[in-house]
Amino acid sequence: MHPSPIDGLGVYAAERVPRAMKIGEIRGESISVAEARIRATRTERVMIVELSARRAVDFGSSSDPMRYTNHSCRPNAELVTANGRVEFYALRAIEPGEEITVDYGETHHEGRLACRCGAPGCRGAL
């Protein structure tokens, strides 16, 4: 992980990643969605993924570098949730040194947080 032009720290490919390859996964504390939404209001940098209508995972205390995956409106990877796991897969080939990004989709920010991804066609907000 290194400083990111998008936000804070970012995670970068150490080697070429072919399209559709699993990049990695991240583990964290399993919590209820209700608790996740409370925590999201109490921290500036939210690292929470909702797995279902009832369960979420908080990565705030995780040491996994994938927790620093930033948002892009034109991502090179996707976040997939299945069987209580949060996994990352390449949407296209990712070159060494390239920042790994995902589209956060709908967020707790409800369009109030400015997007700084700089991608062509950026939506402008998260």
Beta-carbon neighbour count of residue 55 at 10 Å?
Answer: 15
What local confidence, expressed as pLDDT, does residue 85 receive? 86
Measure the N-to-C terminal CA separation of the chain; round to a whole number of Å: 23
What local confidence, expressed as pLDDT, does residue 9 receive? 93
H/E stretch holding 40 = helix 33-41
Beta-carbon neighbour count of residue 17 at 10 Å?
Answer: 23
pLDDT lower than 50: segments of the chain: none
The tokens for 34 are 């209700």
What local confidence, expressed as pLDDT, does residue 40 receive? 84
What local confidence, expressed as pLDDT, does residue 108 receive? 67
pTM: 0.87
Strands 48-50 and 55-58, by their bridges, are antiparallel
Domains annotated for the chain, with CATH where assigned, are: 2-102 (2.170.270.10)
